[in-house]
Amino acid sequence: MTELTSAPLTAEQLVSQLELAIHEHRLAPGTKLGEDEIASIYSVSRTTVRSALQALSLQRLVEHKRNRGAYVAQPSLREAREVFEARALLEPRTAFSAAERTTEEDIAKLQVHIDAEHEAMAVGNHGRALYLSGQFHIEIARIADQTTIETFIKQLISRSSLIVALYWQRRTAMCESHAHDALVSALADQDGPRADELMRNHLLDLVTSLDLRNKTSAPLSLKDALGQ
Amino acid sequence: MTELTSAPLTAEQLVSQLELAIHEHRLAPGTKLGEDEIASIYSVSRTTVRSALQALSLQRLVEHKRNRGAYVAQPSLREAREVFEARALLEPRTAFSAAERTTEEDIAKLQVHIDAEHEAMAVGNHGRALYLSGQFHIEIARIADQTTIETFIKQLISRSSLIVALYWQRRTAMCESHAHDALVSALADQDGPRADELMRNHLLDLVTSLDLRNKTSAPLSLKDALGQ
DNA sequence: GTTTTCAATATTGTGTACAATTTTGCGCAC
DNA sequence: GTGCGCAAAATTGTACACAATATTGAAAAC
């Protein structure tokens, strides 16, 4: 389903593949990304892999340790807070702008998105649900027609996915997408101020659903802590 | 002055060199960045050059055209507007946060910065003055202690430099750094709201000093338009 | 039995060589 | 004289081979 041709993946496609895997929590934070390993899995040369890993490194999705290799990033508590502070600065206002120029096609698209989210949740595919949940936020930035800000938000969403993997409190209950429903409603009404407010609260809810107290610096397990 | 050792530059250092050259307008938008050319100039391998160019490409400082090479980016009018909209979302609030935690050392540092700006202006080194002017904004983000947002602002400042190169109206008069003086004052008083307001107005002044009307899509000269 | 040192192995970092694509210049036809 | 087409040159994209560094395991000393 992911690929039809047998043509070797380009670096850009490889970035997408790895990005998606990280998004959907198939690759956990701290996982080592060996160059030869990835090269053989995707049947590409190490040159391609290195290019892809550099791109992901600049996006802060992987951490590069000199002469030791690339690892899926493990955002610190501080980084986690910063990511959500940045989102708080960008997303509400972007939702505001989006509301003012939302078309009917946009609403339809968002509705499809939300349905897919619910579907993934129903099937129990939490990784997929989380990915789609992120795409929803990106879609709003797209509607706002601000590609520069959209790029930033994309990056923040990616990193948020890592943060969720590390600091999520409730393992069972996933994020209620009622917030997303309400946002779509505000966008459909072209109600900027309401969209702004809803997005602000949504982000606040997200942060409070995380465990961002600095008990220890421990990320996941003892093995991970020593694994560095 | 730029280097003492004869050790070959690392990719990261090369990025800094090229970044600085673009910042200071020694490399104009649209300039072709041939891989072999750069490799011979800095006595590094093409591998290093390619790595550096990829990094700059992801920062939107250079545009990569498949099988045609890398060029110093030429932000479109639309892109230019977007960059300043993003700055308007990030920088005022960041100045606010910075004001609340500014120390005396920070003030001293900023003052040195401003003095250097004036000095560069006095000598007529406009490129240098522009670079330092950008660094001032980055310094404020640093004071705010928000590395994630700082990274975004760095990128926006870089791109602003390209935008100034393309769309600056008054060729003679450079940006009056009185705005920067006022900001330092607000920071020294730890007056968040005033810093926010001053930054907001400063950015507004910057935008209005640019020529962002969409007369044609022409960037600089006819030659450039054809040069693609 | 524990610790330290050293060699063997594995992995990343870097440079070079080849392949693919595009551009350019010349020649021929109209 | 102008326009088209093909071949040669140049430049980027990709793969491979070697060098540098870090990790691992075993052997020896305490």
Structure confidence by residue, pLDDT tens digits, B43-91: 999 999 999 999 999 999 999 998 888 999 999 999 999 999 999 999 9
CA A57, CA A51: separation in Å to the nearest integer? Answer: 10
pLDDT at B220: 44
Every domain of chain A with CATH number 1.20.120.530 lies at 77-208
How crowded is residue B222: how many other Cβ atoms within 10 Å of its Cβ? 9
Question: Which of B104, B99, B55 is CA-nearest to residue B190?
Answer: B99
CA B94, CA B89: separation in Å to the nearest integer? Answer: 9
CA A193, CA A10: separation in Å to the nearest integer? Answer: 43
> Across the interface, which of A55, A79, A146 has its CB nearest the CB of B148?
A79
Q: How many CA atoms lie within 13 A of B86 on its CB side?
A: 29
Q: Is the dihedral of CA B28, B34, B40, B46 positive or negative?
A: positive
DSSP summary character for residue B10: P
Residues in B closer than 8 angstroms to A90, CB to CB, are 86, 89-90
| Interface residue ranges in chain A relative to chain B, Cβ cutoff 8 Å | 51, 54-55, 58-59, 79, 82-83, 85-86, 89-90, 93, 146-149, 152, 156
List Cβ neighbours of B186 (8 Å cut-off, separation of 6 or more). Answer: B95, B99, B194, B195, B198
- Is pLDDT at B227 greater than 50 in this prediction? no
**What is the interface pTM, i.e. ipTM, of the complex?**
0.89
Choice between B228 and A10, residue whose per-residue pLDDT is larger: A10
Tokens of A80: 């986690």
Could you confirm whether domain A77-208 is CATH 1.20.120.530?
A: yes
Asked whether strand D has any atom less than 7 Å from the CB of B39, the reply is no
Alpha-carbon gap: B119 to the closest alpha carbon of chain A (Å)? 34
pLDDT bracket for residue B30 (50, 70, 90):
very high
Q: What is the CA angle B62-B67-B69, rounded to 5?
A: 30
Cβ proximity of A203 and A175 under 8 Å: no
Every domain of chain A with CATH number 1.10.10.10 lies at 11-72
Query: For every one of its 228 residues, what pLDDT tens digit does chain A have, with 9 covering 90 and above?
Result: 444 446 678 888 999 999 999 999 999 999 999 999 999 999 999 999 999 999 999 999 999 998 899 999 999 999 999 999 999 999 999 999 999 999 999 999 999 999 999 898 889 888 899 999 999 999 999 999 999 999 999 999 999 999 999 998 765 455 566 889 999 999 999 999 999 999 999 999 999 888 777 655 444 444 444 433
CB pairs under 8 A between A and B: 51
DSSP summary character for residue B16: H
- Domain A11-72 fold is Arc Repressor Mutant, subunit A (1.10.10)
> Secondary structure of chain A in the HEC alphabet?
CCCCCCCCCCHHHHHHHHHHHHHCCCCCCCCEECHHHHHHHHCCCHHHHHHHHHHHHHCCCEEEECCCEEEECCCCHHHHHHHHHHHHHHHHHHHHHHHHCCCHHHHHHHHHHHHHHHHHHHHCCHHHHHHHHHHHHHHHHHHCCCHHHHHHHHHHHHHHHHHHHHHECCCCCCCCCHHHHHHHHHHHCCCHHHHHHHHHHHHHHHHHCECCCCCCCCCCCHHHHHHC
- Return positions of chain C under 7 A from a protein CB: 11-17, 20-23
B189-209 mean pLDDT: 94
Residues in B closer than 8 angstroms to A148, CB to CB, are 79, 82-83, 85-86, 156
